[in-house]
Amino acid sequence: MLLGLAFSAANDLPAAEKALRQAQQLGSEKDLVEASIGMLRIQARRLSEAEVILRTVLLRDPLLSGALYNLACVRALRGDVAEAAALIRMSWHAGFKDPDQLRSDPMLAPVRAHPGLIDDLIASPIRHCGTY
The predicted-structure confidence for 104-132, as pLDDT tens digits, reads as follows: 999 999 999 999 999 999 999 887 766 55
Question: How far separated are the first and last CA of the chain, in Å rounded?
Answer: 13
Determine the Cα–Cα distance for residues 90 and 61; give it in Å rounded to an integer.
13
The string of pLDDT tens digits covering residues 14-56 is 888 899 999 989 989 999 999 999 999 999 999 999 999 999 9
Looking at the whole model, is its pTM more than 0.75?
yes
Domains of the chain in start order, with CATH, are: 2-129 (1.25.40.10)
Residue type, 4: G
